[in-house]
Structure 1
Amino acid sequence: MNNKDLKEFFYPKSIAIIGASKDLTSISGKPLNNLLQTNFKGDIYPVNPRYDEIEGLKCYDSILKIPGKVDLALIAVSASRLVSIMSECIKKDVHNILLFSSGFAEVGEDGKGIQDKVAKMALENNIRIIGPNSVGCINVKDSVPMGFATSMESSKGYKHGNIGLVSQSGALGFSVFGMAQEKDLGFTYVVNTGNEMGVTTLDTMEFMLEDEDTLVIGAYMEGIPDGMQLIKIAKSAKELKKPLIILKSGKSAIGKEAALSHTASLAGSEETFQVIAKQYGIITVKDIDEMIDVMQIVSRRKWTNGSKIATVSNSGAAGIAMADSCEEFDLKLEPLQGETKKKIEAIIPSYGSALNPIDVTAQALKEQHIITDTVEALAKDKNTDVIIIQTTFGGELGEQICRKLVEIDKKETKPIIVTVTGTKELTGKGRDVLRKAGVPVYKTTYDTMLAVKHLVNVSEYYNEKKTILSSLTANDNSLLIQEYSTHIWTEEKSKKLLKQLGINIPENVMIQSVEEIDQHVKGLCFPLVAKVVSKDILHKTDAGGVKLGIQNIQEAKQSFHEILESSKNFKLDAHVDGVLFEEMLNKNGVEMFIGIKNDSQFGSLLVCGLGGIFIEVLKDISIRHIPIDKEAAESMVKELKGYPMLLGTRGQKRSDIESFTDALVKVSDFVHQQNGTLREMDINPVVVLNQGEGIMALDGLIVWDEMAFPTSVLN
C-alpha cells in the first residue's frame, strides 16, 4: 500500500453504507446522519434489504445493485456476515473499506479466523481496510465524517487546522479530538484504526507526513506495528519539521524471552520505546491532557533557539513557582543583563523585580502597558529563547492585555506562552482571545512548563544538522570469523573478534589438555587468570570456572584440573572446549560494559554502563538504537550516573573516556553491518584505564541468530 491509496480513502466521491439503519441514533444510523448533517457533496448509497429508502435516499438490497461507482464502503454488519459482504465488495470493485463491525480477533479464535480470512481477501484484491472495531474517521479539511463517534455530531462543525490524529482506540482518539476542538485546535484528519486488519497507525502517520496541510501528528498506540517503519517516519518527520506526539499504553517492565547475556535482560519493551523516541525526536506524553497541551504549543510552529526562559508575572509567588519548574524540567532561568534589564527596570515599579523571574507587581492592574512593554523588551533580548507570562487578571483588563499579547505574538518569531489562572467566569474571555489567535495558553504553571520543555526538546532536535551514518558498508562481512561451530560464541572466540575490531584484550592462549600447558602457557607473563570455555557455562564464577593469581606453570596445571572438575560438578553434561589462560591486568581502571540487544521491533540496540559484578545490581545503563556516531557515544557515557567516576573522583586520575567511546562506535558499526543476525553481545567488564592508556576487554559473549547459520554448521 502506498500513501496515494489512503488519499483515495479520505477523499471519496461516493460512499456506500452497508447495514444502514433508519434509526439515526444507532451505530448503523449515525454514519448516514453525520454525512447528511455536514452536507456531504458526493453520492450516498444506503444498503439494507429491509428498507426501500432512508431519509429520502434510495436504499439498495446489495452493494451490487448500486448503479454508480463506490469509492468507499462503510460496513456495519455482524462479523459472521462479513465474508459474504467482502465478496460483493470485490465484485463491485470497491478498494476502500471502513469496518465498524466487532467480534473479530479481540473475542477469540473464531473471530480471529474470520479476521484472517477477510484480511487475505483484501490483500489479494488490493483493498484498503481501516478497522474492524473502528468508530470511524474524519476528513476534517472537507468536513467528511465517516463513522459514528460522538465527536462527529458537533452542530458547530469541525475546526480545520494543521494537526493530524490517529488512534488505535476510538473512544480515546475522538475524546482527544473533541477536547482539543474546545481549545480551538484545528485538525486535518482524525482516524481510528481499531484492530488494524489492514491500515495501521503507522501507515496513517506516513500518509499524514506527506499531506502538505498536516504539520503536527498525534497518535495513541497500544503497540508498535513495525519498529523500523516508526523510525523511518520519525526521520522523515525531522526533515519536514513535523512533530510526532505519541501516547503509548500497553507498557511492560521486561521482555519475556530468555536472555543468555546480561545486556539482553536490561532493556524492556517500554524502555526500548522510550529510547527510540528520545533518539529520533518523538514526543512521548503520559495522558490525553498532556497530548493536547503539546499539540497546542507545537502546532504554533515557533521553534526555540535554546532553553533560556524569561518569565513575567504579577505575582511573586507565581514567579517562584515558575523558577522551581524551570529547575525541575532543566530549563535555564538566567538573570537579565545589560540593556534589557535597564529597559525593564524603567517599565516596572521600583518595588518590582527585573531579575528573572520578573515581577511587574499588581500595579499592572492600573497600567496594563507594564506587562506588554516588558514582553516587547524581552522579545528583542538575544539572551531569551522563550517568554512565559503568568497573569491572574480577569474581566475587561485581562481581555485587553491578552489582545495586546496577541498583537506582539503576531509580529515576533520568538515563542510567547501564557498562563492565565483563575475561573472561567473571570478569565475565560482573555483565554479565548489567546486560543483563537493560536497563542499557547495554559491554566497552571506546571502544565505550562511541561509544554515548554517538550517544545525546547523538539526544537533542539530539529536544530541538529548531523545525520548518523555507519562507517562500514552494509553486508561487508570481512570482519566475521568464519570458524563457526555454534551460534554461541564464548569468550575465546568473542575476543578474537574484539581484537579484529581494534579493541584491546589481554594476551591469552586456549588450552585443551594439560600437556599443552608447558609449551603454550610459558609464553605468557605471570600472574595469569584461567577461565573455563563452554557455551553451557556462561556465568563462569558460579561454576567455579575461574582461577586468579596463577604464578607459575605448576599452579597453571593445578588450576586446569580444578576448573574441569568444578565445571563437571556444576553441570554434568556441559561441553567444555578448554581453559583460557590469559595475563592478569596489572593496572587500575573503571569497570564498564558494552552490550548489544536485538529488539524484535526495533532491531539492534547498543547498551553501556558500569560493569563488572554491579551491572545487574545498579542497572546504571544508557541505550541507543544502532548505528551511532562519536557524538552519540559521548552522550551515552555522559548520561550515566557513574560518569563522575570516569572523570576522576577523590584524587583519582581521569579515565580514557575517548577510547571507550571509540569502542562503542566500533561495536555499533560492526553490528549494524550484520543486518540483524547478531542477537546478543556482552563485553563485561571493559576496564577503562587512565587517560592515554586505553581500555581492556576482559570477557565477552556473542549470540548469533541461529537462522543465520547453515544447518551443517550447527550440527
Structure 2
Amino acid sequence: MSAGPDHEVLGRILAPRSVAVIGASDRAGNRGGTAAALLRKFGFRGSVHPVHPTAETVAGYPAVRSIGELPPEVDVAIIGLGAAGVAGAVRELHTAGIPGAIAWAGGFSENGPEGARLQAELTRTVRETGVRLVGPNCLGVVNTAVGFTGTFATWLGASDRLLTSGIAMVSQSGGLAANAHAWSQESGIGFRYMISSGNEVDLGVVDLLGYVVEDPGTEIVLAYLEGVRDGARFAATLRRARELGKPVLVLKVGHSAASAAAIAAHTGALAGETRVWDALLEAEGAIQVHSVEQLLETAKYLHGRAGLPPLRGRRVVIIGHGGGSGVLAADQCGIAGLDVPALSAATREALAPTMPAIASAKNPIDLTPEAYVQERWRAQLPSTLDVIARSGEADVVLTQFGVGETVHPHDLAGPVIDLHRDGRIAVAVYSREDGVARKLYHDAGLHVFADQRVAVETLGLLTRPLRTADPTLAAEAKRLVTAVEVPELPSVGDGEVVAEHEVHRLLSEAGFDVLRSATAHSPEEAADLAAGLGFPVVLKVLSPQITHRAAAGLVRLDVADRATAERTFREFATRTAALGADLLGVLVQQSAPTGTELLVSGFRDPVFGPVVSCGAGGVATELIDDLSFALAPLDEDAALALLQRLRTTGKPKGLPLAEAGARAAAFLVRFSRLVAGLPWRGFVLELNPVLVTAGRAIPLDGLLVVSDATR
C-alpha cells in the first residue's frame, strides 16, 4: 500500500487562505475571471491574486503580471489555461514556491494522441517539481466552509448564496458532482466540499477521500468512482471512516471487466469486478448506492439524523391513514430486506386506546381517515408513537401521513418530529405534500421522502448489518492458526495450468493438511498405489487441458479394488485421448471423510491486489453461485465475517458450518497468507472442494492457473 500525500499540503489546496488564479481576465466567458468573480461573490475569506500580463484588476482584485510576482504565502493556484500551457505553469509554480494547483483544462489523455502526449509531459513535470495537482480535466474544488470556489461550475452563477453542511463529495466526474451539489443546494442542505478529481495525473480520488474523512467538519462522505489506483489504501480509508463514525456512500460505475482472468477456474467465471467491489464495500461498512438520486436521498436522510444514534435493526413499523399504502410499503420492505413484524398482543392492547375502534394495530398500522378528521384522535398521535417506541418491537417508524398534512399539519408533523428528536427509535417520513408540514420537517432536520420506494430502499441500505465475528469462534480460530511454510514454487509461464499433484505438493510443503496421493502412469501402477493407500480410493485424470474433470467424467470415487482401479485407468486414458488432451497420469488419492465442502480460492486483482474468496463447494459451486470475497491477508475476524456473508454454507454431506466455523476460518487465514505471498502478477489458486470437519480442513482438489507470470 502506497503512502498518501502530506495532509498539510492537501489542506492548503482544499482549504486555502490565499489563492492565485492564472489566466484570469474580465473578458466575458473567461473561466479564470469567472472563478475570481465567484470567490468575491461568495465571500472567500482569504486573499485572491489574479495573474494577467496586462490587466490592473480582475473581478475587483489587484492583478499581478506573472506567476513569479505572486507572494510566497499563496496556498494554491487555479490554472485557467489551455492544455498546452498547464505543464509550463506548474514549473513556474514550483519556482515560485507554491505547493499546489488545480488544473481545469481538458484536452489530455481523453483527447487522442496529442492529448496523451500532453498528459505524459504534465505527469513528468508534477513528479519532477513536487507540485501537488488536482486534475487536469476536472471541475475543480468547492469548500463552502471558507467560501472557496475553485471551479467554473455554471450553476453557481445563478445562486445567490452558498449553503454549507457536513456532506463532502469526491467525484471522478465533474459534471455529476456539480449537479449533485446544485441539487443538494436546492433542497436547502448543500455540501461542505465538492471535489472533482479529473484525470488524476497526481492526486487521486483515494488521496482526496482520505483528506475529507479526516476533516473534522465532514460528517458524511459521498464518492462517485469509476476506479481507484490503490485498492488497499482505498479499503484502509473506508476502514478509517468507519472508525470515526462517518458514513461513506459510494456510487461505483464501470462494472465490466473480470478481476480473475483465468476462465479455466470456477473463480474466473464467478468472480468479476462487480463482486470484488461489492464484497470490499460491504466488508468495510461502506454504503453502496446505484444512482445519483439514491446517493443524495440517503445523504440527506443521514444529514437529518446528525447527532442521533446510528440505525441498528431492520424492524419497521409502518403507520398511516390508509390500508393500501401500508400493504404496498410492507411489500417494498420485504424486497429491501427489511422486516415488518406483527406487533405483539401486549403492544396492540396498549395501542387500542390511542386510535379509533375501526383502526388496525397489526403492522402496518392503519389509523383510518377518522384518526385525522376527529380532533380527539389527532391528539392521541403522540401516545400512539410513544407506545411503538417503548415496545422494543421496532427499530424504525415509517410514517405515511399525507392528506391530513394540508389540514392539520402541526398536529401530525409535531409528534413525528418529537419522536425523531427523542432518538429512541429512527423515523422516516414519506409524504407527497409540499406545504406547511414539509417545512416543519425540514426546519427540524427531518428529511421527507417524496417516493416511498426510495424511503424503504434507503432504510434497507442503512440497516444492512456489518458482519462481526463471534468472539469465542474468533479466539478458537486464532488458536488453530499455524505458520505457513515457504514452499518451492512451480516454474510457470503465462497462461500455464499447474497440475493438481503439483498443487498438492505446494500445499503440503506450506504446511496444509492434504490427503495422501500418488501419480500412476499405468493400470498396474494405479492398482498398486491404491492398494498401498488403502481401498477405497479416488482416481482423477491429470491433464493441463482438462480442468473441470468431474464434468468430463474423469473423476471416479470409491474405487474399491485392484480390478476397478486398473479398469478405471484404461477408461480414463481412452476418454482423455478422445478429447484430444494430454494425459500426464492418473492421481490416486485417499478417500475423504464426510464434512462441509467449500470452494476456497485466491487471485491477484489488478486494483485490490491479493483477494481470497470462499463459497459453496463441490458440485454446488456452479449451481448455487455463492461466493464471498475479502482482501488478503485475513485475520480471524475477517475470515469469520467472510464465512458469514455466504447465503449458504455448502453442506451436501451434512455437517453444519457452525460446528466447524473456527476450523474453516483458521484455514482461510492460513490460505490468505499463502495467497498474499505468491509472486505472480496474474494467477488463480483454486481449491474445490476444501472439506471441513470439526477436526480438519482438507483441500481435496487444487488448480493453479497463472495468467501473468511476471514477478
What interval of TM-score do these two structures reach, taking the shorter chain for normalisation?
0.7 to 0.9
Verify the 8 A CA contact 1:489 1:701 in the aligned structure 2. yes
Greater Cα offset, 511-520 or 160-169: 511-520
Counterpart in 2 of 1:159? Answer: 163
Verify the 8 A CA contact 2:33 2:59 in the aligned structure 1. no
Greater Cα offset, 174-183 or 357-366: 357-366
Task: State how far apart, in whole Å, the 2-side matches of 1:266 and 1:462 are.
Answer: 22
Counterpart in 2 of 1:663? Answer: 664
Q: CA deviation at 1:492?
A: 1.6
Say yes or no: does 1:324 pair with 2:331.
Answer: yes
Deviations 1:583-634 (A, max 9, x none): 456x777765322232222233333334445644653434344455677666
Task: State how far apart, in whole Å, the 2-side matches of 1:468 and 1:195 are.
Answer: 43
Q: CA deviation at 1:436?
A: 2.7
Task: State how far apart, in whole Å, the 2-side matches of 1:168 and 1:263 are.
Answer: 30
Counterpart in 2 of 1:603? Answer: 609
Task: State how far apart, in whole Å, the 1-side matches of 2:550 and 2:416 are.
Answer: 68
163, 174, 183: which one pairs with 1:170? 174
- SS in structure 2 opposite 1:509? strand
Say yes or no: does 1:359 pair with 2:358.
Answer: no
Counterpart in 1 of 2:379? Answer: 369
Taking structure 1 as the reference length, the TM-score comes to 0.86
Verify the 8 A CA contact 1:360 1:371 in the aligned structure 2. no
AA in 2 matched with 1:110: E
Verify the 8 A CA contact 1:12 1:71 in the aligned structure 2. yes
421, 429, 432: which one pairs with 1:418? 429
Task: State how far apart, in whole Å, the 2-side matches of 1:124 and 1:343 are.
Answer: 73
Instruction: Return 5+ residue gaps in structure 2 as ranges.
Output: none
What are the equivalent positions in structure 2 for 1:685-704 lying under 5 Å apart? 685-686=689-690, 697-703=699-705
Task: State how far apart, in whole Å, the 2-side matches of 1:155 and 1:365 are.
Answer: 42
Counterpart in 1 of 2:242? Answer: 238
564, 581, 600: which one pairs with 1:594? 600
Counterpart in 2 of 1:397? Answer: 408
- SS in structure 2 opposite 1:606? strand
Counterpart in 2 of 1:713? Answer: none
- SS in structure 2 opposite 1:141? coil
Greater Cα offset, 384-393 or 526-535: 526-535
Task: State how far apart, in whole Å, the 2-side matches of 1:181 and 1:463 are.
Answer: 37
Verify the 8 A CA contact 2:24 2:30 in the aligned structure 1. no
Counterpart in 2 of 1:491? Answer: 500
| Gap change, CA 1:153 and 1:372, over 3 Å in 2 | farther
Deviations 1:176-210 (A, max 9, x none): 11111222224321111111122222111111111
What are the equivalent positions in structure 2 for 1:259-274 lying under 5 Å apart? 259-274=263-278
Deviations 1:509-553 (A, max 9, x none): 223577856764431333544334354553456888656675654
Task: State how far apart, in whole Å, the 1-side matches of 2:523 and 2:286 are.
Answer: 58
Say yes or no: does 1:315 pair with 2:326.
Answer: no
Counterpart in 2 of 1:445? Answer: 452
Verify the 8 A CA contact 1:297 1:452 in the aligned structure 2. no
Counterpart in 2 of 1:510? Answer: 519
Task: State how far apart, in whole Å, the 1-side matches of 2:635 and 2:20 are.
Answer: 53
Deviations 1:100-138 (A, max 9, x none): 111011112321222222222222322111111111211
| Gap change, CA 1:152 and 1:491, over 3 Å in 2 | same
Verify the 8 A CA contact 1:646 1:657 in the aligned structure 2. no
Task: State how far apart, in whole Å, the 2-side matches of 1:516 and 1:465 are.
Answer: 49
- SS in structure 1 opposite 2:331? helix
| Gap change, CA 1:641 and 1:671, over 3 Å in 2 | closer
Counterpart in 1 of 2:36? Answer: 32
- SS in structure 2 opposite 1:531? strand
Q: Percentage identity across aligned positions?
A: 25
Task: State how far apart, in whole Å, the 2-side matches of 1:390 and 1:17 are.
Answer: 51
Counterpart in 2 of 1:378? Answer: 388
Q: CA deviation at 1:654?
A: 5.1
Q: CA deviation at 1:253?
A: 5.8
| Gap change, CA 1:413 and 1:97, over 3 Å in 2 | farther
| Gap change, CA 1:519 and 1:343, over 3 Å in 2 | closer
Task: State how far apart, in whole Å, the 2-side matches of 1:433 and 1:570 are.
Answer: 74
What are the equivalent positions in structure 2 for 1:101-112 lying under 5 Å apart? 101-112=105-116
Q: CA deviation at 1:79?
A: 1.0
Verify the 8 A CA contact 2:86 2:103 in the aligned structure 1. no
Verify the 8 A CA contact 1:592 1:684 in the aligned structure 2. yes
432, 452, 461: which one pairs with 2:466? 461
Verify the 8 A CA contact 2:260 2:604 in the aligned structure 1. no
Deviations 1:27-78 (A, max 9, x none): 3331011011112232222223353433333333321133554221111111
| Gap change, CA 1:517 and 1:445, over 3 Å in 2 | closer
Verify the 8 A CA contact 2:261 2:268 in the aligned structure 1. no
| Gap change, CA 1:598 and 1:304, over 3 Å in 2 | same
Say yes or no: does 1:217 pair with 2:221.
Answer: yes
Task: State how far apart, in whole Å, the 2-side matches of 1:125 and 1:471 are.
Answer: 50
Verify the 8 A CA contact 1:264 1:597 in the aligned structure 2. no
Task: State how far apart, in whole Å, the 1-side matches of 2:470 and 2:92 are.
Answer: 52
| Gap change, CA 1:165 and 1:483, over 3 Å in 2 | closer
- SS in structure 2 opposite 1:231? helix
Greater Cα offset, 359-368 or 3-12: 359-368
Say yes or no: does 1:430 pair with 2:431.
Answer: no
AA in 2 matched with 1:220: Y
AA in 2 matched with 1:87: R
Task: State how far apart, in whole Å, the 2-side matches of 1:118 and 1:436 are.
Answer: 48
Counterpart in 2 of 1:712? Answer: none
Task: State how far apart, in whole Å, the 2-side matches of 1:692 and 1:255 are.
Answer: 33
Aligned length: 692
Verify the 8 A CA contact 1:400 1:430 in the aligned structure 2. no
